[in-house]
Amino acid sequence: MPRDIVRTNGWRIALLASAAFVAGCGGPTGNATAQTSGAVMTATPPQPREPLAERQARAASFAQWRAEFRTRALNEGITPQVFDATMAGIEPSSRVEELDGAQPEFVRPIWEYLDTAVSDTRVANGQREAAARAETLRAIEARYGTDTRAFLAIWGMETAYGAVRGDFPVAASLATLAFEGRRRDWAERELIATMRIVQDGDARPSELVGSWAGAMGHTQFMPSSFHAYAQDFDGDGRRNIWAEDPTDALASAAHYLRQEGWTPGQPWGMEVRLPDGFNWTLVDPNVRRPAVFWNEVGVRTYGGAALPDHGAAALLAPAGAGGPVFLTYPNFNVIKRYNNSDSYALAIGLLGDRIYGGPGVQASWPQDVLPLTRSDRREVQQRLTALGYDTQGTDGLIGPNSQAAIRRFQTANGLVPDGYASDRLLAQLRAAS
């Protein structure tokens, strides 16, 4: 789902688990979410019904928020008629609040995520769609310059090629998130954008359904992304990303990627081999180097050939030194603008390649490595910081600061500095503490 949806990494992780990753299982997703490498949330038991007095107080509080929000919406150009039609009958959704507050404790390893995201079934369904819509897909690529493999794979990842687009009323979900208050300004802006879709005549309120976080249509656009990127490719006068015909939605995803910097003719990346004794400090997804450099230091295609020159690229080792390594080009980062996750971008790249005959991942994953829980990851950060390798926070989310701290610890202790947080690393940290 386009990046506009959320900025909070923990929330993005939970959303992907409950939405986008479901699509990977044959369900929907969203333009939502950071490590979308497959967070698994345990079910929350049903909560007891609120006492009457609490329900009445909550209803009064919601009515007050609605009145204040109505003033804001009208001041931003929404007509009273559209506001009232969009908000008719809306009450806070306890299910949306539950999903919004969920924090996954367990995160599936990337190889399990990719097994589902790039499953044989998803590939076969993508091949069927590619054949059935070949003319339309070629026309979209010709207009926007975005590789068909990328936007077709996004459709497959986000909603399983339209099979599961979500059934939450978008306005009700966003009203709940706004009323809850944790991201009020963001949710109110998205709700106003929802009303503007109605006001512009692109959809009726009843048509606006999607994920619990407000992502809509075949390619799971947030309302603000709809206004910025949605396309009327079929020329019927509506930017209809909700129709059974996915043409407008596919064109909108292609347009999104191009506007975010897609380079025509450049691949997202490729799997590569590193030579024995390779300098692992060069494996940094944020530092790109030209093909001539990578060839000089011995990096080769997985088949052993010299690297082609598709421009500057960076090395990515999502499972550390024990797993596959990829050379990624700027288009990989453009995919991350849709969903800010290396795992998601890899899935899109690999799925698109496999749909059109590519091999998928060829090296073996380190499946003997145990996944860390959120508590484990927090412990990794705490122990690193206590040992003098500051992770700049202990939130249980392994980001660039934590990876840099891991590398410093590994280098100081004669380990391969791959920056990968694993059960083995945690054991080493415990032994060093």
The model's pLDDT over 345-374, given as tens digits with 9 standing for 90+, comes to: 999 999 999 999 999 999 999 999 988 999
Cite the DSSP H helix spans in 76-214: 80-87, 94-101, 110-117, 120-132, 134-144, 148-159, 170-180, 184-199
SS3 state of residue 404: helix
Inside any domain, residue 230 = no
pLDDT at 24: 37
Nearest partner of 109 among 364, 362, 281, 360, judged by Cα: 364
The pLDDT of residue 48 is: 52
Whether 275 is in a domain gets the answer yes
How many other C-beta atoms can be found within 10 angstroms of the C-beta atom of residue 433?
11
**Is residue 228 one of the residues assigned to a domain?**
no
- Please give the Cα distance from 367 to 126 (Å, whole number): 27
- Inter-residue contact 100 to 53 (CB < 8 Å): no
pLDDT at 50: 64
Q: Are 181 and 68 in contact (CB under 8 A)?
A: no
- Residues 346, 424, single domain; the answer is no
Q: Last residue of some domain: 321, 355, 389?
A: 355
**pLDDT of 73-97, one tens digit each?**
999 999 999 999 999 999 999 999 9
**Distances from the Cα of 300 to the Cα of 242, 337, 389, angstroms:** 44, 28, 33
- Counting Cβ atoms within 10 Å, is residue 295 exposed (0-12), middle (13-18) or buried (19+)? middle
Domain assignment present for residue 21? The answer is no
Number of domains in the chain: 2
Shared domain for 345 and 418, answered yes or no, is no
* H/E segment holding residue 431: helix 423-432
Give residue 19's pLDDT: 36
Q: How many C-beta atoms lie closer than 10 Å to residue 408's C-beta? A: 17
Find how far residue 2's CA is from the centre of its chain: 8
Q: Are residues 426 and 382 in the same domain?
A: yes
Among 305, 324, 355, residue at a domain's last position: 355
Indicate whether 349 and 404 sit together in one domain. no
Q: Could you tell me if 395 and 343 lie in one domain? A: no
Instruction: Decide if 405 is inside a domain.
Output: yes
Beta strands in 219-343 (DSSP E): 269-273, 300-301, 314-316, 325-328
Strand partners, 39: 107
Domain final position from 296, 324, 355: 355
- Tell me: do 329 and 273 sit in the same domain: yes
- Domain co-membership, 290 together with 330: yes
3-state secondary structure of 269: strand
In a domain? residue 215: no
> Residue 379 is part of a domain; what is its CATH number?
1.10.101
- Residue segments in the chain with a per-residue pLDDT below the cut of 70: 3-50, 103
Q: Tell me, what's the pLDDT at 3?
A: 56
Domain range for 350: 269-355
